[in-house]
Amino acid sequence: MPDGDLFDVAVVGGGVVGCAVARRFTLDGARTVLLERGADILSGASKANSALLHTGFDAPPASLEVACMQAGYREYLEIRERLNLPLLETGAMVVAWNEADRERLNAIEAQARQNGVDDVRRLTPAEVLAREPHLAPDTRGALLVPGEHVIDPWSAPLAYLTQAVENGARAVFGAEVTGGSFDGSEWALQTSKGPVRTGLVVNCAGLFGDILEQRLLGSAGFTIKPRKGQFVVFDKAAAAFLRTIILPVPNERTKGVVLTRTIFGNVLVGPTAEEQDDRDHAGVDEAVLRTLIAKAVAMVPALAGMPVTAVYAGLRPASERKEYRVSADAERRWISVGGIRSTGLTAALGLAAHVARLHADMKQKKDLQPLKNPVWPRMTNLAEHLERDWQKPDHGDIVCHCELVTRREIEAALNGPLPAGDVGGLKRRTRAGMGRCQGFYCQARVAALSEGRLADPLAVDACHD
């Protein structure tokens, strides 16, 4: 930590929202630092989600959430080619499986139109099956939402923060904010990596957002109620049975699970919604995973017996209310971005723009000068439907055979402006070990290639036999 540097903005939290906010302020000309307590970005809620780019068709009308989702959606499409971020254009169907579902489609369609998503249309059962022939035949019709798509949930935030860093921002890892004081014009933050001085704090601390406010402001404007979601990822062979995202019709009892392709060529089912107090542990549970598999098979019977490639769980930083908890305290130079429940991946860029406007509305010591020619870093493409590194010559060799990850990709992920900080970070940057064998073939080589580079490394020691 450079002693004495005064930053314009300190962003606390390196989830997708923090990464997008750091990018926005950097491009707007602010001296920006991002403080993350984990060893890498996406160490909390943002590492596990369903990886969809949402239109906001079913978001609360006239809410900040729908506004940020739709702004975020537009900006993602605007910038994705320059950052080399993928898009799998799938569309989604909200499928009715019974008469009650079918009746609810009317309200969902009305809400979509109210939210400005005008290209939705109703499909008859025959049209549903024509579009998705492997779907269970007992559907009662669907609402087609053509604009719902699949993206890479990890390369997007990595691109946002990489662009910030390549344009002058600082990103500090292992930096938990433990305290701080505001003297009327600037914040002196205490972190586990040393003190940080800043003119503004943006709380993007996700699952720990309320704790951060208690520590620094004495009280929190919201209370985080972690909600766990478990997921099952099927073998890539499953992708032959599904093109469109299959969304549930939510009812009073449950929001239901999504069945979708992933950008990496698999099929995903989840999430569950399980309230818990623990903010750190997102464990998977065999019985719940079996329930998810059964739900997937009920929707697409051909998935029966399909091998499971991966299972995971994440925590959504829901709050005690069903809305985003975004607020600005101009007196104390503090902006709070809390309660970003499950739409954060889509909304992040929109939230960042909203936060920048909240900041602009505060009294400024000096006006920010946006960067004239910012650097646009290009991400490694990991999407299955676009060209991967293994298909290009001179990639070194293939280390992970299941996901066809090259040595060149692994070396790149361990270097550069935002090198992988832990095993999860390396996997998310490369997909090494995320395929059907889950590291059986490649983990030893990945352990050797990443020796001395990662927190909680794959190998604990050299072997002297």
Q: For the residues of 137-160, what is the DSSP string, one character each?
A: S----EEEETT-EE--TTHHHHHH
- Dihedral-angle region of residue 367 (phi above 0 means left; psi in -120 to 50 means alpha; beta otherwise): beta
334 in contact with another protein (CB under 8 A): no
User: Whose Cβ is closer to another protein: residue 205's or residue 289's?
Assistant: 289
Taking the complex as a whole, the smallest distance from the CB of residue 375 to another protein amounts, in Å, to 24
Q: Which stretch, 254-262, 351-359, 376-384, 451-459, contacts another protein (CB under 8 A)?
A: 451-459
Question: Which residues, numbered 35-94, are part of the site for another protein (CB under 8 A)?
Answer: none
For 389, residues 6+ apart whose C-beta sits below 8 A from its C-beta are 380, 381, 395, 405, 406, 408, 409
Taking the complex as a whole, the smallest distance from the CB of residue 178 to another protein amounts, in Å, to 19
Quote the distance between the C-alpha of residue 439 and its chain's center. 23
452 in contact with another protein (CB under 8 A): no
d(CA 300, CA 256): 15
d(CA 199, CA 14): 19
Taking alpha carbons only, the member of 411, 384, 102, 105 closest to residue 261 is 384
275 in contact with another protein (CB under 8 A): no
272 in contact with another protein (CB under 8 A): no
Taking the complex as a whole, the smallest distance from the CB of residue 234 to another protein amounts, in Å, to 11
392 in contact with another protein (CB under 8 A): yes
For 352, residues 6+ apart whose C-beta sits below 8 A from its C-beta are 17, 20, 21, 23, 24
d(CA 290, CA 272): 12
User: Whose Cβ is closer to another protein: residue 3's or residue 465's?
Assistant: 465
455 in contact with another protein (CB under 8 A): yes
Binding mask 176-215 for another protein (x = CB under 8 A): ----------------------------------------
Residue 43 phi, psi dihedral angles, 5° rounding: -85, -10
401 in contact with another protein (CB under 8 A): yes
d(CA 399, CA 409): 9
Question: Which residues, numbered 291-320, are part of the site for another protein (CB under 8 A)?
Answer: 305, 307-313
258 in contact with another protein (CB under 8 A): no
Check: CB of residue 314 under 8 Å from CB of residue 279. no
- Rounded-to-10 torsion of CA 299, 301, 306, 311: 20
280 in contact with another protein (CB under 8 A): yes
Question: Which residues, numbered 413-432, are part of the site for another protein (CB under 8 A)?
Answer: 422-423
447 in contact with another protein (CB under 8 A): yes
How many chain residues are in contact with another protein, going by CB under 8 A? 59
Check: CB of residue 133 under 8 Å from CB of residue 302. no
| Inter-axis angle of helices 155-166 and 16-27, nearest 10 | 30
409 in contact with another protein (CB under 8 A): no
462 in contact with another protein (CB under 8 A): yes
Question: Which residues, numbered 139-178, are part of the site for another protein (CB under 8 A)?
Answer: none
d(CA 97, CA 259): 14
User: Whose Cβ is closer to another protein: residue 13's or residue 221's?
Assistant: 13
394 in contact with another protein (CB under 8 A): yes
Backbone CA torsion sign across 264, 268, 274, 275: positive
Q: Which stretch, 124-132, 139-147, 208-216, 233-241, contacts another protein (CB under 8 A)?
A: 233-241
Q: Which stretch, 137-145, 208-216, 220-228, 389-397, contacts another protein (CB under 8 A)?
A: 389-397
Give me the residues that bind another protein (CB under 8 A), please: 233, 235-237, 240, 280-286, 289-290, 305, 307-313, 390-398, 401-402, 404, 422-423, 436-441, 443-445, 447-448, 451, 455-465
